[in-house]
Amino acid sequence: MTNSITGVCSREVSPVQGATYLGQQNITKEDDLAYKNTILRSEPGAWPHWVVEGGMTMSIQKLRTAAKLWVNVSGGDVRLVILVGFRPSRRQIHIETWVPEQTPMSLSARKQHNEVDMDFSVDPPTYRGPPALVFEFSRLLGRAPIPPGEQDVMLSRQDLLRLGRAIWWGI
C-alpha cells in the first residue's frame, strides 16, 4: 500500500505510539508520537526515525532537553525531533527541529535554524519564522529519496498556520 501524501510504502512511514526505548547508559525514552521505516527497522524496540516532542505544561527548556535526549541516547538513530511547545493561556505555538550532528569527538543534538512562533491570540494570527519548514526525506525515512517522485517534505507558512488553527479548535 502506498501513502498518498508521500508516495512511499506505508510501512516506510509507520506510526509508533507509547513505546519505550532503552538507550545509552540505560536511559529510557517514551514517545508520544513517533514514526519509523519498519522496512529498515523492524525489530521490536528499534528507535524511530523521527519523533514529535510536545507539551503544554513543560517549559521550552525542558522540551529542548527532551529533544536532545532523543538524539543523544539513541546514538543518532533518531534522525529528527520536532519540538512543539504550546502556551494555551497565550494561544501560542513554538516549533523547533533538532537533528544529530557528528563532531570529531562525539555525536550531539543540534537545533536547526528554523524556529517558528505562531500567535493565535490576535486576528489574523501572527507568524514568525522561515517561509516553510523543510524536513529532509532521508531523516524521515532513513534512506535517500528516489527521484522524481520522492523529495523533502515542506510545510509552508500557510500549512503551519492551518495546522495551528486546527490545534486551537481542538483544545
**What tens-digit pLDDT sequence spans the chain (171 residues)?**
444 445 677 778 889 877 888 887 778 888 889 999 999 999 888 999 999 999 887 889 999 999 999 999 999 999 999 999 999 999 999 999 999 987 777 778 888 878 999 999 999 999 999 999 999 999 999 999 998 889 999 999 999 999 999 988 876
What does each C-alpha distance from 84 to 47, 67, 142, 147 come to in angstroms? 20, 10, 22, 30
Q: CB under 8 Å, gap of 24 or more: what pairs does 5-13 form? A: 6/150, 6/153, 7/149, 7/150, 8/141, 8/150, 9/39, 11/37, 11/38, 11/39, 12/37, 12/38, 12/39, 12/40, 12/141, 13/37, 13/140, 13/141
Is the whole model's pTM more than 0.85, yes or no?
Answer: yes
Dist. CA 45–CA 69, nearest whole Å = 16
Q: What is the pLDDT of residue 147?
A: 87
